[in-house]
Amino acid sequence: MKTTDRRELPNGKVSLTALGLGCAQMGNLLKLMPFADARDTADAAWDAGIRYFDTAPFYGFTRSERRLGAILDERQRSDFTISTKVGRLMVPDADVGAEAEGYVNPCPFHQVYDYSYDAILRSFDASQQRLGMVRFDILYVHDIGRVTHGEKHEHHWNQLTKGGGFKALSELRQDGRIGGFGLGVNEWEAVSEALDECDLDVSMLAGRYTLLEQESLGLLQKCLDRGARIVVAGAFNSGVLAGTNNFNYGDAPAEIIARVQTLRSVAEEFGVAIQAAALQFGMAHPAVVSCVSGARNARQIRSNVEWFEADIPAAFWQALRERGLVAEGTPLPGLAA
């Protein structure tokens, strides 16, 4: 698998490079990222052949979109694929603190969840201004789900399904202002429910189809059956598969650490970097069109590309299957189903 390999959505309107750049770090996720580092990171991604960039209004409370728009301003629009997200309106707020929702020095806005018809269109318009672009390739409905919203889930779900949210997205797609839409979530169940409500093109699933987790296999088959596709994100499960103790945006529990150690031991047995296996894993599924990974600097980009393109012996993947370390029926690189 090469970074520059492309996979096309079934609607024929969007193609994505196999490896994409997630731009949450450009919003100062967890720590400051100077603009020079953001530019160097994006330039290194471009030099490596990455042409798919993903952002969101929420990342840095609009900072990521502003930065990415400035960085891509001198590139030909037809030369890259871009996705952003809707579902939050960013409202000016002079009292936003030095850190909020995991972002350091966020821009002076606060988020208001709103998935209604008018809010989707307002969010789209605001992103056009921040990114300096008329058309987006993909719009994802950001962070909708029962775990995310708890007792407010039904309210937000009704905004999306009965309040015109999906209708607005369908109109944007029909008018050609976007190439396709889907969900951008950590909850695979939300994507499954959305497929029963609307014709999705592609959804970004973070952390739920990885070397560590395959409970979403049924969803991926459903996507294939419905003509939808998946972009996998969070391949390192918040870092636990890349050497940190972070899992699902928090400290990894003991059972997760133990499972990762088992996977790492098998990787070491075959001389495989666990990070390489994590990045390549999802691409074996026919429903997956791209793997998006974040980076803080050019060095991390180069590492991601090296891992993504590393040769991994089929015997490693076979060992995972034979030892029950992946779910039954999981497609693996270079192996028959």
Give the pLDDT mean for 216-236.
Answer: 98
pLDDT bracket for residue 336 (50, 70, 90): confident
* Active-site annotation holder among 2, 13, 31, 85: 85
User: Residue 182 belongs to what H/E stretch?
Assistant: strand 178-185
Listing DSSP states for 303-332 in one string gives HHHHHHH----HHHHHHHHHTT-S-TT---
Of 230, 233, 232, whose CA–CA distance to 219 is shortest? 230
* Active-site annotation holder among 52, 59, 140, 209: 59
Strands (E), 24-176: 52-54, 81-86, 88-92, 99-100, 103-104, 109-113, 136-142
Q: pLDDT tens digits for 114-125? A: 999 999 999 999
| Active site annotation includes 52 | no
**Do residues 68 and 53 make contact, with C-beta atoms less than 8 angstroms apart?**
yes
Per DSSP, the three-state class of 290 is strand
For 324, other C-beta atoms within 10 Å of its C-beta total 8
Q: Considering the entire predicted model, what is its pTM? A: 0.97
Q: pLDDT tens digits for 168-215? A: 999 999 999 999 999 999 999 999 999 999 999 999 999 999 999 999
| Active site annotation includes 2 | no
CATH superfamily ID and name for 6-322: NADP-dependent oxidoreductase domain (3.20.20.100)
Report whether pLDDT(249) > 90.
Answer: no
* Active-site annotation holder among 52, 54, 201, 209: 54
Q: Domain extents for the chain?
A: 6-322
